[in-house]
Structure 1
Amino acid sequence: MPIIIVINDFPEVEDESEYEQLCAGVRLGIEQILTFATKKSNKLEYIAVITGKDSNAHVLSHLTRDYGSIRENLDRLTLPEKIDWREIISCINELIFEEWMMDGKTFVFCLVGERPTKLSKSRKRPATPEADFYFKFEFESHIQIMIMAEDGNMTKRYYEKVLAGNNQKGSIECVNWQNNDTISKKFTSSISLLSPPHIVTLLCGKISCQVQLYPPVKPFFGIVKHEQVNKRIGSKLKIYGFISLNDLASPPFFSKHFLIPTGSRTEDAPKKEDDRGNVPNVTVLLHGSLKVRQMAAVVQLAPNWFGLICSCSDSKKKSNLILYVLEAGSEPVTWLGDFTSMMISNELSDNNPFLSEKKSPFPIKTDERPSYNQPTISWIKSSGVQADIQKVVRFAKKLPEKENLFYKEVNRVKKAALSYGFTSLILGLSDILEREMTSNDSLSSSAKDHLSRTVAALRSPAACNVDFIISSK
């Protein structure tokens, strides 16, 4: 969840001591934002700083979690006088889409002086519909404008236009920059209201703990089995059981979130009285067990709405608990069946075939038995891709007898690769067929002609067209 700090439009101050005091007030306000982001529950915030340089918008710090580098840049901060607000918004749009490219709300903190920005006539844009673009963000946002003045009512009039262009998603605060206590309180209250942590209770049998979901889970609105469904996550997440990751495969999910334990020692509390790091926590138990056993926890978010908790490792040193929110309904993963009908494996009878033969009950076998093969390819696991490629190679070795089946499988794999956006697989298949053509001396000249024609077709630009059919003609 990015936070963009904008420093713009400060009046020229002739008194050097007064200017230094104003700069110190701006740094103190930004320091409150960095302090908020440093807390355990908010340590995932990305922050960028945009200011002015040579009458143009300038990115002082790109989106980063290295708050130390931001503080170093602030030591060399000079307050810009007036930068066209439309250039600032354009700079923010480019920054978000180049460095973030993720869904979710972006918080924009604007630190401005006591006077409004006046657009010069030379830089004023014509009143066309396209000009309104510069007054609007291209992503969901919340603007918090902090006017560094004791009484900034005159300045509010201009910045109300900015909020109007943002559909009024924001607010304006006046801050007395000569009072450090006022600066700290104003900035702390503003940033705290913008991002309240989403705290829920995680229940696992008779033990429980409070966790933060980051980012917060959005309500689910959609159509499930021809019915309109509106779901909101409850205050308790109850774990119903565990399932192997091999059976889970790669299920579709609505959203995913970090599970962050809230039982960490605060900075203000004494270490002996609030040393919660030594207190057992459910998240630590879950993280270790799920990672070692290669399993996922099935959790209920709300009535008839489920999710999956998995241990996810970004690197050797970083590992997190991730909540995958599934679509609402009792059957969000088709090959796992009805979640409400699941039971613990220990409750199965001793003569159950799944226990006696150590077989997995998944995927669920339906009563439907189609009398024809599926025309489409479903690659849930990597083994499915490998099996289809091997099938093409087997038919290639039996050319020209298996000519029709060979071209049929090549076109099926090509179409599936384009459907999944797996275009590199098409080039990989052409390399495999070329290797087979050059290394297999037992192939006839007719078979090599078919393979060379297929390799050329797969490498042609037309291969990226779904309607393009590779044939022997």
Structure 2
Amino acid sequence: MPTIIAVDASLSMLRPVPGRNEHTYLSLATKGIQHLLDNFTAAGKLEHLALISYTTTAELKVDFTRDYDQIRQAVKKIETVDKACLLTMLKTSVSIMSTWGAQNLLQLVVFTDCGLGFGTTSISGFLETYAGKEADPEYAWLRTVANYNLNFICLGLHSDQYFTRALVMYQQLLDAALLKGQLFMTPVKNPETNEATSTPSHKSELGRTAVFELIERLCETSYKSTEVTLKCGSYFRMEAPVLLWPPTTPYEQPAVLGVEAEVRQIDQRIDVCGFLALSDIGSPATLSRHWVLPKVEREKTSRRSAGMAAVAKPAKLTLDTSNPNYELERLEQDIREFYAKDPKDTEESGDDADVTIVLKHSSGPQTEQQKECLCVLLHGALKMENMAALVRVGEKWYGFMYAFTDAKKKSNLMLNILPPGSNVIPWLGDLELLGFTEDLAPGETASFPVRADRRSYSQSSVVWIRQASLQSDVQKVLRHAKKMPDKTQHFYKELNRIRRAALALGFVELLEALAMLLEKECAHLTLNGASNECTVQLQHAATELRKTSNRDIKSTIVPHQKGGVPDASSSAAVASTAGYMY
């Protein structure tokens, strides 16, 4: 999810925090950003981040990047300037976010002491001006901001009346402009007992710990990946918890044919229904696309627990003898232990006739990288076989998983969620009626993929989106013209291709321009002593391009035959060869 981190760089951010003279509001914001970056780093650096500072103007410090060290260094160099203007920052974020389009989930995290501003640029002045003018073009940028998820980290104490009044104004701004946002602030204290309404703690004060708690709440609310269970087949070990990133969003299914509109969420369990070739699926319309990541438990171990773990032996899987698959389970465990052992951990004993291998116990427990992972197995199989897994994400709701390789040659397991319904890929038909090729009756052939005698997409097409493409096609015709009579057939083939494309696009002016070019080329070649056949064919082609009868896209211009007489409009350079028989 692209995220812009905005820092309030007004002079009020230099105020010391009441009761904590060692901190200013700006230093707390810096520590909060550092903690936010630590959370993103622990999650795998999945977010694209940008950093801006704003006062009366907004300045882009770091453009979108996954190199969080750049942002760490840039945050330390932010300098305060003058008063804060939140609206200027929101307008600037629209231009910065424009490169991501409207289909991405865009985030905006603002660290501020909730300054209201002064004069016409203040929030209160904006609300007075904005009332009743929601549809004016002047405020069209607010409709773009409404697609963002705004998160305000509000640095202040509730005992400060200016801060509490500012919170009300910020909430009024979100409500009046219909913006999706949330204000993160420290817990409100009970004035009678002077304790927080939640569990009383020193963390309720505005300090580093309180700011860290706000960041944790932010990550839990806006950056938590969707956790589901992925199951492949009936074998109980082919089931594992996975994370979907970006997190899935509710799908609002519109009302159709009397059916009421409803909001649908994907199930907590995703079942693999079968496998299809990627060429059979093609590129259907999808609602969203997500990375499928294995869930890794990150435990915070102390020094004492880490030392104890160093001497612990790896736990051995205990098998249930009453399980009907006990023999298969034991065989699988023996195979796993055989291939998992390290040659350095083995030693030979006995003589040459009877050599036994003794496996030494490793000194540490099995790491997360060494554990079995369904995502790794599924990703490797799909990548090697060039296939996709059809999965069920809800009732009559499907998607497909496949191995995707990005521009950096890094491969990932992806999930594309299709629109709800079982008939959402027209060329596949009903997804609930798919079967195996072995189920076909004797003599019956599969109806998919459909075989075409002549594929339209295999034919060469003319694309003139840029000027260089048109210029290249015209130069190709002129190159063939200079090599006539050897390239006569190639010349007319390219000429007819350009003529049909021009007629299909309604670009009839190109025909006259091309005729003039051929006449100029004819005169130029005549002066350079070109063959008579070359000049005759060029004049013939120019004449045919101007004829109204050749404005039919089905007609074809053919080469000038021997013994023909050119038109009276021939130039003087060609007139001397009019009676020439060849």
* TM-score band, normalised by shorter chain: 0.7 to 0.9
Amino acid at match of 1:215: P
CA change 1:431–1:5 in 2 (3 A) is: same
Alignment of 1:20-169 (within 5 A): 21-40=24-43, 43-52=45-54, 55-98=56-99, 100-113=100-113, 115-119=115-119, 127=129, 129=133, 130=136, 131-133=138-140, 137-151=144-158, 152-167=163-178, 169=180
Amino acid at match of 2:50: A
Alignment of 1:45-444 (within 5 A): 45-52=47-54, 55-98=56-99, 100-113=100-113, 115-119=115-119, 127=129, 129=133, 130=136, 131-133=138-140, 137-151=144-158, 152-167=163-178, 169-175=180-186, 179-205=207-233, 206=235, 207-222=238-253, 228=259, 231-262=264-295, 264-266=296-298, 268-269=300-301, 275-315=367-407, 317-346=409-438, 351=442, 361-363=447-449, 384-385=456-457, 387-389=458-460, 427=470, 430=473, 434=477, 438=481, 441-443=487-489
Equivalent position SS for 1:28? helix
Equivalent position SS for 1:6? strand
Preserved contact between residue 50 and residue 65 of structure 2 (Cα < 8 Å): yes
CA distance in 1, matches of 2:5, 2:106: 11
CA change 1:147–1:306 in 2 (3 A) is: closer
CA change 1:249–1:449 in 2 (3 A) is: closer
Q: Offset at 1:305? A: 1.6
TM-score, normalised with respect to structure 1: 0.73
Preserved contact between residue 135 and residue 162 of structure 1 (Cα < 8 Å): no
Q: Offset at 1:322? A: 1.2
Q: Offset at 1:342? A: 1.6
Preserved contact between residue 311 and residue 321 of structure 1 (Cα < 8 Å): yes
Query: Unaligned 5+ residue runs, structure 2?
Result: 187-203, 310-363, 511-550, 557-582
Partner of 1:399: none
CA distance in 1, matches of 2:240, 2:509: 54
CA distance in 1, matches of 2:366, 2:32: 29
CA distance in 1, matches of 2:81, 2:213: 25
Preserved contact between residue 245 and residue 296 of structure 1 (Cα < 8 Å): yes
Q: Offset at 1:463? A: 9.4
Equivalent position SS for 2:267? coil
CA distance in 2, matches of 1:435, 1:295: 46
Greater CA deviation, 273-282 or 426-435? 426-435
Equivalent position SS for 1:188? helix
CA distance in 2, matches of 1:137, 1:447: 50
Q: Offset at 1:62? A: 1.7
Q: Offset at 1:163? A: 1.6
CA change 1:280–1:348 in 2 (3 A) is: farther
CA change 1:193–1:327 in 2 (3 A) is: closer
1:37-79 CA-to-partner distances (Å, cap 9, x unmatched) read: 2223x632122222136x4211122222111100010121224
Preserved contact between residue 434 and residue 451 of structure 1 (Cα < 8 Å): no
Preserved contact between residue 238 and residue 301 of structure 1 (Cα < 8 Å): yes
Equivalent position SS for 2:489? coil
CA distance in 2, matches of 1:234, 1:198: 11
CA distance in 2, matches of 1:242, 1:122: 58
CA distance in 1, matches of 2:369, 2:214: 31
CA change 1:10–1:444 in 2 (3 A) is: closer
Equivalent position SS for 1:336? coil
CA distance in 1, matches of 2:492, 2:439: 61
Equivalent position SS for 1:247? helix
Q: Offset at 1:157? A: 3.2
CA distance in 1, matches of 2:2, 2:258: 36
CA distance in 2, matches of 1:14, 1:219: 42
Measured on the aligned residues, the alpha-carbon RMSD in Å equals: 4.2
Q: Offset at 1:142? A: 2.4
Greater CA deviation, 116-125 or 194-203? 116-125
Preserved contact between residue 146 and residue 180 of structure 2 (Cα < 8 Å): no
Preserved contact between residue 403 and residue 412 of structure 2 (Cα < 8 Å): yes
Q: Offset at 1:320? A: 0.8
Amino acid at match of 1:443: Q
CA change 1:462–1:86 in 2 (3 A) is: farther
Amino acid at match of 1:119: G
Equivalent position SS for 1:443? helix
Q: Offset at 1:315? A: 3.9
CA distance in 1, matches of 2:432, 2:219: 41
Query: Unaligned 5+ residue runs, structure 1?
Result: 355-359, 366-372, 378-382, 390-412
Preserved contact between residue 113 and residue 147 of structure 1 (Cα < 8 Å): yes
Equivalent position SS for 1:74? helix
Equivalent position SS for 1:192? helix
Greater CA deviation, 82-91 or 455-464? 455-464
CA distance in 2, matches of 1:227, 1:426: 50
Equivalent position SS for 1:116? coil
Equivalent position SS for 2:182? strand
Identify the structure with bigger relative contact order (alpha carbons < 8 Å, sequence gap 6+): 1
Q: Give 1 or 2 for the bigger CA radius of gyration.
A: 2
Q: Offset at 1:335? A: 2.1
Equivalent position SS for 2:111? strand
CA change 1:301–1:15 in 2 (3 A) is: closer
Equivalent position SS for 2:271? strand
TM-score, normalised with respect to structure 2: 0.61
Amino acid at match of 1:261: P
1:207-228 CA-to-partner distances (Å, cap 9, x unmatched) read: 1111112223344445799675
Partner of 2:531: none
Greater CA deviation, 283-292 or 17-26? 17-26
Equivalent position SS for 2:119? coil
Amino acid at match of 1:249: G
Partner of 2:352: none
Amino acid at match of 1:179: G
CA distance in 2, matches of 1:334, 1:425: 37
